[in-house]
Every structure is written in C-alpha cells, then in structure tokens.
Chain A
Amino acid sequence: MNEKDIIVCRCSDISLYDLKKLMEQGYTSFVELKQIARIGMGPCQGRTCSLLVLKELAKFLDVPFETLTPPTVRPTMSALKLKMIAKGKNNEEQR
C-alpha cells in the first residue's frame, strides 16, 4: 500500500509518508513531531496515534520501543464544553 495513503495521525491528517519525511529531517522524538506537525494535538490527544508513531520512531531509530518517551498526558480526560465546566455540570448532563 502507498505510504501516502496510510494515515498515522487522523486528527492532523499525517500519513506514514509524511511521518518518515519528518523523521529524516531530524524530528526524532514524539514531542518534537507533535510541535512541528501537530501529531497528537487534535481531539484524540494522542490516544489513537501515539502507539503508531512511537512504533515507527523505534523502527527509524533502531531502539527498543520502551526506551522512547510518550507524549505528556494532559487534562482533561474527555472534551467538555467550557460552559459546562463553568456551571459545574458533569459530562452526562451536557449530552
């Protein structure tokens, strides 16, 4: 399959081809890829893409997967509307 058609980050529309090009340019940690290409900055917050990206990074750098640093997990756990936080309502009530 064409690497341009394999999506590794769906929030920011980054393909495997894009990812490999970025790594070749020297962005070789998750956080650097995040800053330059918004990988992991979208609504999924890295929940979908981080494993895929870290696996590709491990392959590219030829290091064990577990030696790589995953992205920082930041609050909140779910995407609440700001007005609901302001009013102190919970996630069920805003649906």
Chain B
Amino acid sequence: MKNNAKVVIIGGGISGVAIAYNLAKMGETDVIVLEKDHLASGATGRCGAGIRQQWGTKMNCLMAKKSIEFFETAKEELDYDGDLQFKQKGYLLVSSTKEEDKEFEQNVILQNKIGIPARKITKKEALKIVPHLNPDAFYGAAFCPTDGHLNPFTTTDAFYKAAKRMGITFYTQTEVLDIKTKNKKITEVITTNGSIKTETVVNAAGGHSYNIGQMVGLDLPVYSENHEILVTEAVEQMQGPMVISFSQNFYCQQTPHGSFIMGRGEPDKKPGLNVESTHLFLDRMSKTITKILPKIGELRLVRQWGGLYNISPDHQPIYGPVKEVKGFYLAIGFSGHGFMFAPVTGMIIAEMILKKPFSIDISGLTIDRFEKGNITIEGNVV
C-alpha cells in the first residue's frame, strides 16, 4: 500500500470516483481512493438510477443541468467500452392537487430561466406521454424530455477506469479507521491496511459521512435514512419517462433493460445505517403503483432492497472545506441525489482542492450556509 498521497478520497461511490477522475483530468494524479467494500457498494449501487433537472431550488437546477450535459457525452469523454444505459425519455412529474400543480408552474419558470427544457402540461398531455396512467389518480403534470436514466454500476465503472488509466490509485476492501490531525491540519489517514500521510482528505462517504466527520471532531449536519426500492421482471419497452410524485411519495421508471424500478420514502423511518428490506415498503409500494399505474401491477416482483439517503437540512449537497480542520473537504448530504449530481460534484471538489475557478457558482452550497441561516429547502424529494 502507498504510504503517502496529495489527496485521499474516502468513499468509492459515484462521488469519490468522479472527484478522482476530475483531479486526474486537471493534472493531479497523486490521489488515493479508499473504499471499505467494493466500488458502488453503498448508496450509488442501490439508487433509483434516475437523472432529473426538475427541481425547486436554483442550485439544484444548475447542478442538474450541468450534470445532464456531462452525461450526454459521458461515454465518449470517459472512453468507456461498456454500456452506460443512458436514456433520455424524460421525467413526468404528476401533481395531486391544484396547489401542487401551481408549484409545478412556479418551478418550471425557474427551470426555464436556467435553460432546462421543462414544461407545465395538462392531464390530457400527460396521458399522451404515459397512456397507462390512471386519469383519476392525478391532477396535472410537468415534463422535461431530457431527464432520464443511467446505470449506476457501469457509470461508476466508467469513471473508475478512466481515473485509473490516468494514474489514480484505488484501494477497495480498505476501511478508514481514523484520521489524524495536528494543529487543526490533516496529517494522516489510518486504514485497515496501513496508514497514508496526506494533508488533504475528501469525505465522500455517502451514508457514512457523519462517522467520517467525527474522526476529525466534527458534528456534521447530516443523518442517514434507509430508502427502499423494488424491481420487476423485464418486459417489452412500454413506458418512456420516469413517473414521479412528491405528494404521493413514489417514483417509477422502466430501465433500458426492460425491468421497472420503483421506490418511495417512509415518513416515519428512524435515522440509522441499516439497509433492510421491509414488508411494509413492499405493501405500500404495491398499493401506490397499482392505483396510479394499474398496468404495472400486472408485473412480477423480482427483488427489493434498501439504500441510504444522506440527508442535509435543506436537501441540497454540502460541498467544500470546513473552518475547523484545514485540508478536510466535504461532498456529503446529497439527500438521495448524489448519483445524478456526480459530474458536478467531481468538477467542483477537484476545482476547490486545486484552487481553480469553479465550473458553476456553488457559493450557496458550502457548510457555512447553515450558520448564516440563509437556506432554501428543496421540496422536490421522494
């Protein structure tokens, strides 16, 4: 094992590999990525595989747009020989009430201003896009045709391979046990396979980011929560877009492989690190989907699983340095959307570490926003 590096990234999920790739691309290859299990073994490999730009906060809209632009050319940029299963058939947001529909209208105005091609549509138009929607189960809709799907496993693999080719070092099955500091500066990372001298550490540990923060004495404003998903047998293509509702608490998309993947959040879940599968989820998910998309109820369930949302107070990521410890960077608190924001996460964190100009203005996403009390809460989250 190498015993020193300019930068140590903790977490081999999509954020970690994207940060590593961007550091290498900008010329810094003295980087080690540490992963306690295998790549994408945490939240990335358990996520819903959707990519969307229809958000309620300006920051989320900006990051999502930039990320989609990256995904559109990712296969070429990362020179990947596998299949990313990239699909742009849109996200159809369905509302339940007149009030929610009005919110969609407001959000579309914001999204259009930023250049996201979303539009507010009627129930009739929504039924043209997804004919098997139950017309009695929703009020109106919004649609963005360039949202869609991407395979989290192969996308992680693509970033990993590109980063590795450029000289980044990856250690999997290597857990971080402690981080040593001296005079409020990072000095060393202790792992199950040895220690690494470094002055810069990135906390990209997803569901475990709070615990990594504790190692340098921080009480980070994030917690983790199990969100469950199920997948059906694969069938002929029959649903282009992701169908999603915040008020009805579900999302459901057909993957390019043919299976339907769907999830929902449980309002009464306790924070923690367990990723168990529950019958309660299966029961509620089946009821919701059978009501809104009755045809999907005819499909057979293949398996269900859980994964961690790492939740921040405003449901937006927390990027950047902390004032308490020099050399400690955060890429945490994605609140269920770390996969789809990964291209921006990679760019921004690499630019911060190498002191380069930012690709987008993320001044609203550093941790000091919570001290200032100047926060806008993202409501468009399942």
- Using a CB–CB cutoff of 8 Å, the interface residues on chain A facing chain B are 29, 31-32, 35-36, 38, 41-43, 45, 72, 74-76, 79-83, 85-88
Contact = CB atoms under 8 A, between A and B. Distances in A.
B304 interface: yes
B45 interface: yes
Interface in B290-347: 290, 294, 296-305
A86 B257 CA distance: 25
A75 B232 contact: no
Given A76-B301, A80-B300, A83-B298, A36 B82 contact: yes
A43 B38 CA distance: 24
Contacts of B232: 82
A45 B302 contact: yes
B233 interface: yes
A81 B302 CA distance: 9
Nearest to A76: B301
Given A75-B303, A80-B300, A86-B297, 16 more contacts: A36-B82, A36-B157, A41-B302, A43-B233, A74-B277, A74-B304, A74-B305, A75-B304, A80-B301, A81-B301, A82-B285, A82-B299, A83-B297, A85-B283, A85-B286, A86-B283
Interface residues of B, number: 33
Contact of A45 (B45, B82, B289, B303): B303
Contacts of A75: 277, 279, 282, 303-304
B287 interface: yes
Contacts, number: 75
A19 B168 CA distance: 27
A31 B300 contact: no
A45 B283 CA distance: 21
B135 to A, nearest CB: 18
A28 B292 CA distance: 41
B40 interface: yes
Contact of A82 (B157, B277, B290, B305): B290
Given A36-B82, A45-B302, A75-B304, A85 B257 contact: no
B38 A79 contact: no
Contacts of B195: none
Nearest to A87: B290
B17 to A, nearest CB: 14
Nearest to A12: B257
Nearest to A34: B153
A42 to B, nearest CB: 8
A72 B304 CA distance: 11
